[in-house]
Amino acid sequence: MVLTGPSGCGKTTLCRCFNGLIPHFYNGQLEGEISIAGLKVKEHQIHELAQKVGLVFQNPENQLFALSVEKDVAFGLENLGVTRANIRKWVDWALKTTEIEELRERAPHELSGGQQQRVAIACVLAMRPEIMVFDEPTSFLDPLGARKIFRVINELNKKLEITVILVEHRLDLASNYADRVLIMDNGKIVLNGKPREVFTSEKARLAGVGIPKATLLWQLLQEKGFSLIDVPTGSEEATHFLREMFEN
Amino acid sequence: MSVFEGFRFRHISSPVHRLDPRVKFFFVIVMFVAAVIFFELLPLIVLFTLPLPFVWLGGVQRPWMKSLRGAMFLAVFLFVFNLVFGYFSPSTVPYGMVPLEYATAMLLRFLVLVESFSTFFLTTSPDHLSLALEQSHVPYEFTFAFTTAVRFVPVLAEEAQTIMDAQKARGLELERGNFMKRVRNYIPILIPLIVSAIRRSLELAEAMESRAWGAVKKRTNLYVLKLRRGDLMLIIISIIILAAALYVRYFVYPLPTITMLLPK
Amino acid sequence: MIEVQNVFFTYPTANVEALKDVSLKIDNGEFVAIMGQNGAGKTTLIKQFNGLLKPSKGNVLVDGVNTREISVAQLARTVGFVFQNPDHQLFSETVEDEIAFALKNFGFNEEIIEKRVTWAINLLDLTEYRKTSPFMLSGGERKRVALASVLAWDPNVVILDEPTIGQDHKQKERLLQFIIQLNSQGKTVIIVTHDVEFVAECNPRVVLMVRGQIVANGEAKQILTNPDIALKACVVPPQITQIFQGLADLGFPADIIDVSEAGKIIFEHLELEGRKR
């Protein structure tokens, strides 16, 4: 699920509700109920929730504290008191799944932003959560690095069946993988549905999110009375639908 | 900053690097005790040469020399101080020595301490060290603070450079002005650095909590330090050195000094 | 005018050349986007423009003066540099003081400082925050304060290092309008970015870098739609370009980066088809 919305709309705040940082780490008033992976957030400590819900943050540098990648990935498991043999097993698995085995002995400072972010993902993955929340994980990365991260996230979702919540501004990059898009504005959820429906809705335009260009093109054609077989959200779909339209 | 270069860890693999930090530290303590119990030049010369094989074996000769060079300033000051003091207050100079020998001996004692610690830090990686601390039952909070600090030193150094660039690009001149002006010119560097460090700490804390910090009272560890043959050998060597030093101190009397050995 | 003449540069602690024989000319009033992957040398290059870095070999001339011959502070009068992270600059007690900082460094008198500060504050919509501490503002607002503090001394050249990072759609739109406005006032605007969609919308001159060298220098349209260059520089073409490249065999042009232009071309093709039938 992709979560988006203008700056200050509350998406970052919402993310922190998922693993208990709100209300346990941040002070403030929380009204209402949040229940995740069968646990009521208000009633469980962050370290309990952390075993079900992983959170990957925006800045890769500030999620890595150890002096080697391996030790960082082991951090969460060490905190949970897992036995050495199991730590070894899950660390190796996490490194393999995120394709960073060759970085095992490296120090975080020597890595590129994209590599660091993959390490951060491995660190969270090692605890084998059911749900992973990514708060703008590609903000500091170049498009190539961003693509790699989206691919990894997609693999986690499709192959390991981990529920993914991805906060992202650049919808043209992220919407390819999404089953659902949620748009927030001013602390409220204003849209919740399939990417096609959401991107073509007037509310999305009003909220000021960056509708993918492919969808904008479709809208231009709609206005002139030309319709495609479906709403494209990515370039491949758009190419495909346009081709269909021309060949008929 | 070359004196700090003499203590910074290098990524080399050598037998010395692989030794257990706790054992290496034991050796350093022994050297410390042995150095402190002697005023005489001869035993101190012997002590000075003892860490040399480890320096050579560890392949850290160049940075080690740098640490000694860096300590020279303070060492020379000590030398002059003791020399002058010795001449004007002869009672401080131990029996059988002239002030010159005494001052040299004190200089050498200081260098023995510097070289031992330098060798230790040059051949012990920070994570190895933190592992040793953990296994020595130092509370994990301190070990973690230590490792994180070491990990972020290069990051903060880079950030300081970026901040300096950013402010220079707004006309800040760091090289000009009298002392007071120069100090004030560093405020636009320090404040962003401190604010950034605080923000960073908050993000780190969020990440730590999100990875189950504090879940269990007794953390487990991916690595474990095990004493091996080399470690046992070093322990034995250290004990021998300590025993020999104590023996010489308390049972060899009088201890020959250079002054006594020189022809009259 | 900025002239880069066969510049080589290696960082003191590195042994890899960050800039290899780079030559470039930027005339007054141009709008240039320097693009490339992280590590290609973009930031290293722009830091040569205001003297923060001096070339290891070769020369950089700003308005005819070699950057080696004047200080950074002097160059900064002409070349304003807005860093990527505003938090690396902000340190004052109020937004007002922050904006006045550079003006004070440059030796302007009190009256002019007051005028310029007010002007910059109005320009970037910060009037309500004039007496606020910059640390109390949101991320987007802090970016505006950083930008205001650079524009306050009215440099001829404005360099923006990765201005779109972390910005939402509306903020990017605003930034785009602002940059176009600056440029139309005669300022030379140089942006370093890897945001291809943003570049596609403002259509500047593009200088593309790969591993310390300039591999392309020309119109955004030509460069972003060239598949060979895109591959070499690891640049992902804008979505519109990707769509049209997939339809090349149907006779569509391959050098489209703008949505409305794309729409127009499709209509034309459809009308053509309609007339044929």
Instruction: Calculate mean pLDDT across residues C240-260.
Output: 88
**Looking at the domain assignment, is residue C225 inside a domain?**
no
CB nearest to A239's CB, from C169, C236, C247: C247
Q: What's the CA gap between A231 and A227, in Å, rounded?
A: 9
Taking a C-beta distance cutoff of 8 angstroms, is the pair A7, C168 a contact?
Answer: yes
| Average pLDDT score, chain C | 92
Lowest mean pLDDT among A106-120, A143-157, B172-186: B172-186
pTM value?
0.89
Burial-class residue B199 by CB neighbours within 10 Å (0-12, 13-18, 19+).
Answer: middle
A8 contacts in C (CB within 8 Å)? 138, 140
Do C209 and C254 fall within a single domain?
Answer: no
Question: What pLDDT does B8 receive?
Answer: 61
Q: Which of A:53-82 have CB within 8 Å of C?
A: 58
Question: What pLDDT does B259 receive?
Answer: 73
Q: Torsion angle, CA of C155/C159/C161/C167, rounded to 10 degrees? A: 70
**Looking at the domain assignment, is residue C265 inside a domain?**
yes
A77 contacts in B (CB within 8 Å)? 220, 222
Q: Which tokens belong to A71?
A: 């030790």
Smallest CA–CA distance, residue A70 to chain B, in Å, is: 9
User: Which of C222, C233, C228 has the alpha carbon at shortest distance from C257?
Assistant: C222
Q: pLDDT confidence of C277, banded at 50, 70, 90?
A: low
CB contact under 8 A, B219 and A81: yes
Residues A125-143: pLDDT tens digits?
A: 999 999 999 999 999 898 8
- Give yes or no for residue C268 having a pLDDT over 90: no
Question: What pLDDT does C32 receive?
Answer: 97
Coil, strand or helix: which one is A36?
strand
Q: What's the CA gap between B128 and B115, in Å, rounded?
A: 20
Q: What's the CA gap between A208 and C157, in Å, rounded?
A: 31
Do C127 and C188 fall within a single domain?
Answer: yes
User: b or e along B114-126 (b: 16 or more beta carbons within 10 Å of the residue's beta carbon)?
Assistant: bbbbbbbbbbbbb
Coil, strand or helix: which one is B163?
helix
The total of structural domains in chain C comes to: 2
Instruction: Choose the mutation target among B210, B217, B219, B220 for the interface with A, i.e. most A CBs under 10 Å.
Output: B210
Whole-number CA gyration radius for chain A: 20
Q: What's the CA gap between B24 and B1, in Å, rounded?
A: 25
Domain boundaries, chain A: 2-210, 212-248
CATH no. of A2-210: 3.40.50.300
CB contact under 8 A, B192 and C87: yes
Domain boundaries, chain B: 2-124+227-261, 130-210
CB contact under 8 A, A109 and B155: yes
Of all residues in chain A, the percent with pLDDT exceeding 90 is 67
Determine contact: C270 vs chain A, CB below 8 A: yes
User: Which of B252, B34, B21 has the alpha carbon at shortest distance from B134?
Assistant: B21
Smallest CA–CA distance, residue A95 to chain C, in Å, is: 24
Do C99 and C49 fall within a single domain?
Answer: yes
Question: What pLDDT does A234 receive?
Answer: 87
Do C7 and C48 fall within a single domain?
Answer: yes
A109 contacts in C (CB within 8 Å)? none
Question: pLDDT of chain B along its 264 residues, tens only?
Answer: 445 555 566 667 788 888 899 999 999 999 999 999 988 888 888 899 998 998 888 888 888 888 888 888 888 998 998 888 888 887 777 777 778 888 888 899 999 999 999 889 888 888 888 889 888 888 888 989 988 988 898 899 999 999 999 999 999 988 877 888 888 889 999 999 999 999 999 999 999 999 999 999 888 999 888 888 889 999 999 999 999 999 988 887 777 777 777 776
User: Which of C100, C84, C188 has the alpha carbon at shortest distance from C143?
Assistant: C84
CB nearest to A87's CB, from B127, B147, B222: B222
How would you classify the pairing of strands C213-219 and C205-210?
antiparallel
Question: What pLDDT does B7 receive?
Answer: 59
Question: What pLDDT does B237 receive?
Answer: 93
Q: What pairs with residue C213 in β-bridges?
A: C210
Do C151 and C16 fall within a single domain?
Answer: yes
Q: What's the CA gap between C44 and C41, in Å, rounded?
A: 5
Question: What pLDDT does B2 receive?
Answer: 46
Residues C24-83: pLDDT tens digits?
A: 999 999 999 999 988 899 999 999 999 999 999 999 999 999 999 999 999 999 999 999
Question: What pLDDT does B6 receive?
Answer: 55
Burial-class residue A77 by CB neighbours within 10 Å (0-12, 13-18, 19+).
Answer: buried
Q: Which of C:119-138 have CB within 8 Å of B?
A: 135
**Looking at the domain assignment, is residue C246 inside a domain?**
yes
Q: C252 lies in which domain range?
A: 238-277
Q: Which chains touch C (3 or more CB pairs under 8 A)?
A: A, B
- The contact set of A with B (CB < 8 A) is 16, 19, 21, 24-25, 46-48, 50-51, 54-55, 57, 59, 61-68, 70-71, 74-84, 87-88, 91, 107-109, 120, 123-124, 127
| Average pLDDT score, chain A | 92
C263 contacts in A (CB within 8 Å)? 217, 220-221, 224
**Looking at the domain assignment, is residue C210 inside a domain?**
yes
Question: What pLDDT does B1 receive?
Answer: 42
Alpha-carbon distances of A156 from A51, A58, A122, A136, rounded to whole Å = 16, 18, 11, 17
